[in-house]
Structure 1
Amino acid sequence: MSEQPKIFYASEPNLESAEFYRVLAESGFGATHGELRLKAMLGQAGLVLTARFCEPGGKMVGVLRGVTDFSWVCYISELAVSKSAQGLGIGKGLLDEARRQLGPAVAIALISTPNSVGFYQRVGMTRVADAFWFLREY
């Protein structure tokens, strides 16, 4: 039986947009934003957490980006794990690190893609019906 790789979780408010893009693309997230938009997304996030393998070079394999006031709510806008590292508990680890950094009084909200609903339910998030979406075309 192979040993699970050790993962290091950290806050990285100055994460490079190229590394952010790479993990989004590797996760199947469908990252199609240009570099300027990715830099703005990271710069205005409030909470940027990463998951890296604990080895020389520490390749980033997961990222969580949240918009928050650190008082009432944190909206998780991206939670992505490279496909090669999926199934190792990294998504849950990123959510646990977000909870640790935000504290118990701050709610966490997100919008899930249909194929990720089961993951969020398994990690203990509650599905809600009263949510709204204003679709904006670009």
Structure 2
Amino acid sequence: MADAGLGEMVYRLEPDLPVEEFVDVLRRSTLAERRPVDDRLVMEDMLRNADLVLTARAGGRLAGVARALTDYARCTYLADLAVDAAFQRRGIGKELLRRVHEAAGRGTTLILLAAPKAREYYPHVGLQRHDSCWTMPREIGEADGSAF
């Protein structure tokens, strides 16, 4: 996929993605509204403890990221899918989803909790709504206001 002046979009597993780049793309995607981006230790743990970190880069610039937790057998939880607002509506999110699912194993069920602004996006890229999801609120002392 070519991008204006930035060349081909390059997708790859990037387990050592620098936290600064991760936070930056979260900010450029609006996902930072629901993540503790000012807490570097939490952000580092989020990256370090993920099973899969897949990136999309154009001319070296991080355009998108998908972060997932998986058992590689039955389920894959997509914890983050962020695409820089300047790169949205070009199929990058859909391709990140496809590649994460492929890396985790097509035999796994891909599961995610949609951010409020993204609820209508996921059916568009082939995911099915599931009506029996429950959550237990975090008990950490930080009240960062983030929900998923």
The one-letter amino acid paired with 2:87 is A
Correspondence for 1:136: 138
The one-letter amino acid paired with 1:44 is N
Residue identity over aligned pairs, in percent, reads 34
Correspondence for 2:111: 109
Q: Give the TM-score normalised by the residue count of structure 2.
A: 0.85
Q: Give the TM-score normalised by the residue count of structure 1.
A: 0.91
Correspondence for 2:50: 45
SS of the residue corresponding to residue 120 of structure 2 reads helix
Q: CA RMSD in A?
A: 1.4
The one-letter amino acid paired with 2:44 is K
Structure 1 runs (4+) deviating above 3 angstroms are: none
Measure, in 1, the Cα distance between the counterparts of 2:121 and 2:20: 27
The one-letter amino acid paired with 1:43 is R
SS of the residue corresponding to residue 65 of structure 2 reads strand
Aligned residues: 133
Match of 1:86 among 88, 92, 106: 88
SS of the residue corresponding to residue 111 of structure 1 reads coil
Report the Cα offset of residue 133 of structure 1.
1.1
Moved more, 16-25 or 108-117: 108-117
Q: Deviations over 1:80-106 (max 9, x none)?
A: 001111111110010011122122201
Unmatched tracts of structure 2, length 5 or more = 143-148
The one-letter amino acid paired with 1:107 is T
